[in-house]
Structure 1
């Protein structure tokens, strides 16, 4: 039997992808991005986050993922300064598409979809129980595809660990906890995963292989995905993330760069 944390995590985007929320999400996204049917398959790149590159990325704005995401997305909560991208979490009000949410934060998504290759970022996570700082790939119904996903997540309740996971056609429950040997909230470190069409996903921290999935626990993703980063507080998943309480000042996850190498 899966643990309560695993059940919560595996159900996370099932809640998100209820018919009503999918309709709201798709409606919001179509105002800010090319339709999924015409999304390009991206090639190799390096982005040093010196500025907002609208040709490569867009900022989620004016909606909420719902479910366990106790937050609405605001474009102005993703900022750039001195070669760093920051994602803020605070108590700002949210536009009509996510009104009523107690917190606002930012989400950064690639315009293009990306297939097999190496996905990397250099980031500094948030230390706060109840939060997730992330770098991941995702596709789903909004792209006209099944839900596939590959995750790097730092849970704010213990920033000396990283959680890996993947979803294939909506099936997750493949979490693995990696002991980092450092505090991910006190400095920048490199996080990467290699997604191979030969049937493996390899995760790396500061260039060192720390975990591998071969499909032995379930089929691996196959569909091209968007590169994404976000930071958010949970609700209803205290057994996984711990209970969130706002500290009174904004929380900020920081990203130094992102890189994709096509295989």
Structure 2
């Protein structure tokens, strides 16, 4: 009985600490564009900016081999065509793994496009795009990636918008390298908006994006525990696939808001084995 009471207390305590806002420098460093990075609210919020001279970025101090990675983001307002804001995982190897949220700015009054992509062993070109169903410049929204050895799920405000299954048994690449959590803002005007025809309106610069929520729930490769262990909550069986409620939300969001899916782009791809059921 005493053990169960202790376990319950520890679970409650863990949730308390999970809900607390951590300062940026607990888990992250500035990776580039130092002059365009601003700390706000005692380090609990970071502002990244893009001007004519430079963008900026941050990255986690450690690399992780599985986990749940979240960031609360408020995207640049005004006329943001050509501006790309990102939150992603990246392995920094020659044949890298990568899991991307890429927010593609637009002309004022037009919707933001969210592009996701998956790289495995240096191979990407797995873009999917949705148009966000809210104004991501007005308030903070939570974007998260759950990554385990069975599936990778991209969430917006806890709603799954993309699932990438581990089909390595079929010869399909799946991210397996230790990756860092990163966020950036940069000039993507050559491709990001209207296929690169909409250029950045520099009279609106600097373009700024705000980031909150620097907690990381992930397994580092140096902690002595295998990172696919079910001792970590994100590896437990209930996270090997979406539950019924998530599956319903997933299908609904994609049917209403998806504007591009590489799986259906026969002009670019003849075969996409990971897309077939």
Instruction: Tell me if 1:253 matches 2:253.
Output: no
TM-score (norm 1): 0.65
Distance 1:185 1:197, change over 3 A: same
1:124-145 per-residue CA deviation (whole Å, 9 max, x = no partner) reads 112401011111010123xxx6
Distance 1:255 1:139, change over 3 A: same
Runs of at least 5 residues in structure 2 that lack an aligned partner in the other structure: 1-16, 219-231, 233-277
Q: 1:152 aligns with which of 91, 101, 113?
A: 101
Distance 1:222 1:240, change over 3 A: farther
Distance 1:133 1:222, change over 3 A: same
SS in 1 for 2:84: strand
SS in 1 for 2:35: helix
Alignment of 1:232-243 (within 5 A): 232-237=186-191, 240=195, 242-243=198-199
Instruction: Quote the offset at 1:244 in angstroms.
Output: 2.0
Alignment of 1:16-35 (within 5 A): none
Which residue of 2 is the match for residue 184 of structure 1? 136
Q: How many residues align?
A: 191
1:189-246 per-residue CA deviation (whole Å, 9 max, x = no partner) reads 0111111112x11111111112111156942211010110000112532654542231
| Structure 1 ranges of 4+ moved more than 6 A | 44-47
Alignment RMSD: 2.5
Q: 2:159 aligns with which of 191, 197, 208?
A: 208
CA distance in 2, matches of 1:224, 1:45: 23
Alignment of 1:1-263 (within 5 A): 48=21, 50=23, 52-53=24-25, 56-61=27-32, 74-82=33-41, 83-91=44-52, 103-127=53-77, 128-141=80-93, 146-157=95-106, 159-198=111-150, 200-215=151-166, 218-237=172-191, 240=195, 242-262=198-218, 263=232
Instruction: Quote the offset at 1:248 in angstroms.
Output: 4.2
1:24-57 per-residue CA deviation (whole Å, 9 max, x = no partner) reads xxxxxxxxxxxxxxxxxxxx9888364x51x632
CA distance in 2, matches of 1:249, 1:47: 33
Distance 1:253 1:159, change over 3 A: farther
CA distance in 2, matches of 1:248, 1:178: 25
Runs of at least 5 residues in structure 1 that lack an aligned partner in the other structure: 1-43, 62-73, 92-102
Instruction: Quote the offset at 1:180 in angstroms.
Output: 2.5
The answer to whether the Cα contact below 8 Å between 2:117 and 2:124 also exists between their aligned partners in 1 is: yes
In proportion to residue count, which structure has more helix? 2
SS in 1 for 2:68: strand
Distance 1:105 1:160, change over 3 A: closer
TM-score (norm 2): 0.62
